Amino acid sequence: MKTNEWWRHAVVYQIYPQSFKDTNNDGIGDLRGVIEKLDYIKSIGVNTLWLTPVFESPLIDNGYDVSDYKKIASDFGTMQDMEKLITEAHRHGLKLIFDLVVNHSSDKHQWFQESKLSRNNAYSDYYIWRDPRPDGTAPSNLGSVFGGSAWTYVKTRNQYYLHLFAQEQPDLNWDSKELRYAVYDIMDFWLAKGVDGFRMDSISFLSKNTNFDDVPVEDNKKLGAYYYGTANGPHIHEYLQEMHQVIYSKYPNIMLVGETPHTSMQQAKLYVEPNRKELNMVFQFEHMHVDYGEYGRYSDVTFKMSDLRQSMARWQEAISWNALYLGNHDQPRLVSRFGNEGRYREKSAKMLAMIQILQKGTPFIYQGDEIGMTNAHFTRLSQYRDLEAHNTAKFLQAKQLSKEQTMNFLARKSRDNARTPMQWQNDVNAGFSAGKPWIDVNTNYDNINVNDAQNDKSSILTFYQRLIALKLQSRLTIDGDFTLINANDSSVFAYQRQLGSQKLIVLGSFSEKKVRYVLPKELMNVQGKLVLSNYQDTSKYLTQTLFLRPYEGVVYLINEQHE
């Protein structure tokens, strides 16, 4: 493996600092809290950290609205804290990637403060401004992610500016070369300090169709979806290749992972083909849409395993290298969404981890999933902190949904489910903070916490440690080909990884019942040895027919050269 391809052997732990560990009792997690927990993070077996944004920000969107890309938000700490974190992470043998949010900045960024003043100053075209329509209304019918129009009027310029997200998140104009090179300068600033790469936020929106004509409006909406004409626009690959050329020429050993919402497989291939020199991998969203309902993400639709399996397998077979994830700070807790957070929480969390991590690509583990943290089950709207939750509640109530239904949709799918404080021990505020946490702690910290998990050989944490060790120990699990097994089985998600004469058979039951599972004929009478299971007494050798218990996950190794 070429040294600069370390990301093929990376297992990444995503930290949401605001909710990770608070060391100065203001109820907000901070960088010193991350430093304090590096030993724990290392003990999981991961080798790379991804930190969500900690730069100066009004925190309208919890840091995804940056007002100074080269300063640390005082809520999270100081530049010295960050420099210490970089040093300490490396001392622990951990790479560290930052979250670069450059599709948009905060409206409090100095660039925007200047840009909105006039049509001809140095920053006038750092953002996307358009004249009002003759009747004074917005330039187009584009809606924004968080609800409402994607356009906001500014009197001083007598123009509207574009914001795909909140109005406090004006989109940067990537058609401006000065702006692009100002972003590369920010990347250089952090790479020079030793950062090992970036997760690039909303990167598929950087280049837009700039005519901004009206877009189609779905029947239950008043405005057009934010991704029409804005995702995977005309110059996106040109800009990423320019970024690659500028950045990699000076820092050849970094990792760039793009978050690419609303990106098809064909488009994703263009981002990750190595010889195109754009990104190493992308977070795509197809498998995150398997439980969308008539109002999109917020719904009470339960996913079908067959849809999840089909989507993940499609991307495994079509894309050379995938970012593997089932949860993050934008998604509900994976054990609640795809597993069973009640009786089979432990079994299903382990099985899901196995199915995710042993696929081909770089696994991303979100803080708390390694101990099986669940959705928050908030019962009051006032418990939610995410602007998306509050905007969604308004939207759903305008659609005449009952309060119960609205609260049910939020409880199942809100991003705040993944943003409740990390549960360290069975103590006040789960050991996260001695102050009042910025968001309620999940009430189940008494039996779901790191401390208990570390003292329990059969914990989800212990299983993650063994699973990550298995993932990293051989070329089979890194480079082996992926093939689905029994692609239509109603309960079991099964696949094999193959490299030369070695095969790894991975089987995960998504059923709460015991199921009978018969291996396909091509796997008849082969010698398979058990390497991992989430039950104690799984048979040591692969048999033709298996009886998988509720959420049973098993991994067998076949060495065909012994045949």
Answer for which of 15, 72, 94, 145 binds ligand TEU (CB under 6 A) is 145
Does 28 interact with Ca ion (rule: CB under 5 A)?
Answer: yes
**E strands, 48-158, where?**
48-51, 55-56, 68-72, 95-100, 129-130, 151-154
**Binding to Ca ion in span 30-49, by CB under 5 A:** 30
Distance CA 121, CA 133 (A): 24
Maximum CA pair distance of the chain? 79
Q: Please name the residue ranges forming H helices in 284-429.
A: 305-318, 334-337, 345-357, 387-398, 403-413
Q: Based on the residue annotation, tell me whether 291 is a catalytic residue of this protein.
A: no
Does 81 interact with Ca ion (rule: CB under 5 A)?
Answer: no
Answer for which of 5, 6, 24, 512 binds Ca ion (CB under 5 A) is 24
The separation between CA 283 and the C-alpha centre of its own chain, rounded to angstroms, equals 7
The DSSP annotation for 308-324 comes to: HHHHHHHHHHH-SSEEE
| Pair 196, 48: CB distance under 8 Å | yes
Q: Of the candidates 265, 462, 460, 477, which has an alpha carbon nearest to the alpha carbon of residue 363?
A: 477
The separation between CA 178 and the C-alpha centre of its own chain, rounded to angstroms, equals 30
Does 202 interact with ligand TEU (rule: CB under 6 A)?
Answer: yes
Does 388 interact with ligand TEU (rule: CB under 6 A)?
Answer: yes
Instruction: State the minimum distance, in angstroms, from the CB of residue 329 to ligand TEU.
Output: 6
Distance CA 531, CA 466 (A): 10
Distance CA 534, CA 350 (A): 6
**441: DSSP letter:** P
Instruction: State the minimum distance, in angstroms, from the CB of residue 264 to ligand TEU.
Output: 15
Selection from Ca ion, ligand TEU, none that 24 binds (CB < 5 to 8 A by kind) is Ca ion
Answer for which of 21, 116, 287, 297 binds ligand TEU (CB under 6 A) is 297
Instruction: State the minimum distance, in angstroms, from the CB of residue 392 to ligand TEU.
Output: 9
Q: Which two tokens stand for residue 543?
A: 């048999």
Does 75 interact with ligand TEU (rule: CB under 6 A)?
Answer: no
Closer residue to ligand TEU in complex, CB, 297/345: 297
**Binding to ligand TEU in span 256-285, by CB under 6 A:** 259, 261
Does 61 interact with ligand TEU (rule: CB under 6 A)?
Answer: yes
Q: Please name the residue ranges forming H helices in 121-232.
A: 177-191
Answer for which of 16, 20, 127, 165 binds ligand TEU (CB under 6 A) is 165
Selection from ligand TEU, Ca ion, none that 28 binds (CB < 5 to 8 A by kind) is Ca ion
| Pair 198, 283: CB distance under 8 Å | no
Selection from Ca ion, ligand TEU, none that 297 binds (CB < 5 to 8 A by kind) is ligand TEU
**142: DSSP letter:** B
Select which of 22, 75, 196, 259 is catalytic: 259
Q: Based on the residue annotation, tell me whether 75 is a catalytic residue of this protein.
A: no
Closer residue to ligand TEU in complex, CB, 60/138: 60
Does 64 interact with ligand TEU (rule: CB under 6 A)?
Answer: yes
Distance CA 4, CA 254 (A): 7
| Pair 236, 261: CB distance under 8 Å | no
Select which of 81, 201, 291, 330 is catalytic: 201
Closer residue to ligand TEU in complex, CB, 201/278: 201
Footprint on this chain of Ca ion (rule: CB under 5 A): 22, 24, 26, 28, 30
Q: What are the residue numbers of the active site? A: 201, 259
Footprint on this chain of ligand TEU (rule: CB under 6 A): 61, 64, 101, 145, 165, 201-202, 259, 261, 297, 329-330, 388
